Amino acid sequence: MAATATPSTQIVPPKSCISASHRISRSSIVCFTNETKATSSTKLRSSSFLPATQSFAKIYDCNRLRLERRGIKAMSGASDKQTLPGLPVDLRGKRAFIAGIADDNGYGWAIAKSLAAAGAEILVGTWVPALNIFETSLRRGKFDESRVLPDGSLMEITKVYPLDAVFDCPEDVPEDVKTNKRYAGSSKWTVKEVAESVKQDFGTIDILVHSLANGPEVSKPILETSRNGYLAAISASSYSFVSLLKHFVPIMNPGGSTISLTYIASEKIIPGYGGGMSSAKAALESDTKVLAFEAGRKHNVRVNTISAGPLRSRAAKAIGFIDMMIDYSLENAPLQKELTADEVGNAAAFLASPLASAITGAVVYVDNGLNAMGVGVDSPVFRDLDIPKAQKS
C-alpha cells in the first residue's frame, strides 16, 4: 500500500561529486511553516562543490518548487541569528553527542543528520570494533551521498570517539577484552573516559543521544535465554543509558536534552524479539521516567525516549524477521506507509529543541500509529468488515 508521506526534511541531492575532504561551513535551521520563501546562499570552503558559473542560489531555485506546501523546510545562511519565519527548530550553537553510530543506515545516523540540519555540532561515539571501518568509510567518501543535508551541504562530524558503553570505567574491562585485537590501537573508550575526553576537548554538550542496543541471544525465546544472555541485553541496551547520563549529564548545559530509542516490544508481545531484549526496552522506558526526575531536578536536563517503528537497518536485519514486521506495520498501522529513518530523526530534533522544553519523561511513538492498534486488521476474521485502506498514489 502506498500513501502520501508525512512532511519531512527535504534532502537536496548534490549537483556534483563531493570529496569527503571538503569541509563545508554552514548553519541550518529546520523550520515548520506553511510557505516556501527564498533562502540565502551557503558559504562554501570548497570551490569544487559548484561550477564556477553556477551559484548555489541558482541551483536552489531549481529545486525550491519541490518544497511547495511542505510542512518542513531547511534554511541556511551566513547570519546565525536572523529572524526566521514560522516556528523554527533552531539548534545553532548547540553540541550533540550521539552514542552508537557505526554506519549510515540506522536511526542514530538519521538523528545526527536532523540535528545537523537544525544547526547542531555533531560528535559521535562508535563501538570500538567498528571504529576503523566507520572512520575509513567516512574518510573515503563512502557516506557522502547519505551525508547530504537539506541545503545541499554535507553533514560534518566534528570528532569520532571510540566507545564501548558496556564498560563504565577502565577497571571494569576484563583482560580478554583488553587484549582482544579488535580493541588494539584504541584507548579511553569506556563511558567515563569518553565523557572526560569530550569535556577536555569541548567543555560541554547540550544534547545526548543513546542509539545503542545489543542482545547476543535475541533470536532465542525468553524461556531459552541464558542468564548471561539476558543480563548482557540489559547491560548493553538499558543500563548503558543510565551510565551515559551518569557521566555526561554533569557536562551538559542547563536546558539540555537526552534521547534514547526504544521499541513497542517493551509493552506488547513481539514473537521473535527475545533474548531479554523486550525486558531491556521495558527497563529503558521505566528508567527514562526516573532519570527525567533526577536529571531534571539536579541538572535541568530533559530525558525522553522515542519508540520507533521497524526499519530495514543493518542492525535490525540481524533479528531475522524485520521484513515481516515492516509488512505487518504497512497492513495494520493507521498510516499505511513505510517508516523512514528521517522521520525518527526529525522527531529527535524536535525533542532536542526549545520547542519541547516542557516535555520530559515521555515515550514518544514514531511508528505511523501502530502502537494505537489493539488488533491486526489484516486478520481473516475481519474480512467481512469494511476496513478503510490508504489511497494509492
For residues 10-33, give the mean pLDDT: 40
Q: Regarding predicted confidence, which is higher, 391 or 378? A: 378
For residues 219-225, give the mean pLDDT: 96
210, three cell numbers: 543513546
pLDDT at 393: 65
pLDDT at 78: 36
Cβ atoms within 10 Å of 322's Cβ, excluding its own: 17
Summarised one tens digit per residue, pLDDT across range 363-384 is 999 999 999 999 999 998 888 8
pLDDT at 316: 63
How big is the chain by its Cα radius of gyration, in Å? 21
For residues 169-180, give the mean pLDDT: 96
For residues 176-203, give the mean pLDDT: 97
pLDDT at 54: 43
pLDDT at 165: 98
Q: How high is the mean pLDDT of the chain?
A: 83
- In angstroms, the Cα distances linking 255 to 31, 111, 245, 263, 392 are 21, 19, 14, 26, 43
For residues 386-392, give the mean pLDDT: 83
Summarised one tens digit per residue, pLDDT across range 244-282 is 999 999 999 999 999 999 999 999 999 999 999 999 999
Q: How confident is the model at residue 392 (pLDDT cuts 50, 70, 90)?
A: confident
Element containing residue 83 per DSSP (H, E): none
Q: Regarding predicted confidence, which is higher, 13 or 143? A: 143
Is residue 10 scored above 70 in pLDDT?
Answer: no
Burial of 235 (0-12, 13-18, 19+ CB in 10 A): middle
Residues designated as active site: 238, 281
Give the integer Cα–Cα distance in Å for 365 and 363: 6
Q: Regarding predicted confidence, which is higher, 130 or 384? A: 130
pLDDT at 87: 86
Contact between residue 363 and residue 262 where contact means Cβ atoms under 8 Å apart:
yes
For residues 157-180, give the mean pLDDT: 97
Strands (DSSP E) contained in the chain are: 28-32, 72-76, 87-89, 95-99, 121-127, 157-163, 205-210, 252-262, 302-308, 363-366
Cβ atoms within 10 Å of 15's Cβ, excluding its own: 15
Q: How confident is the model at residue 84 (pLDDT cuts 50, 70, 90)?
A: low
Cβ atoms within 10 Å of 23's Cβ, excluding its own: 12
Q: Which of 261, 272, 279, 236 minimizes the C-alpha distance to 367?
A: 261
pLDDT at 321: 76
pLDDT at 101: 97
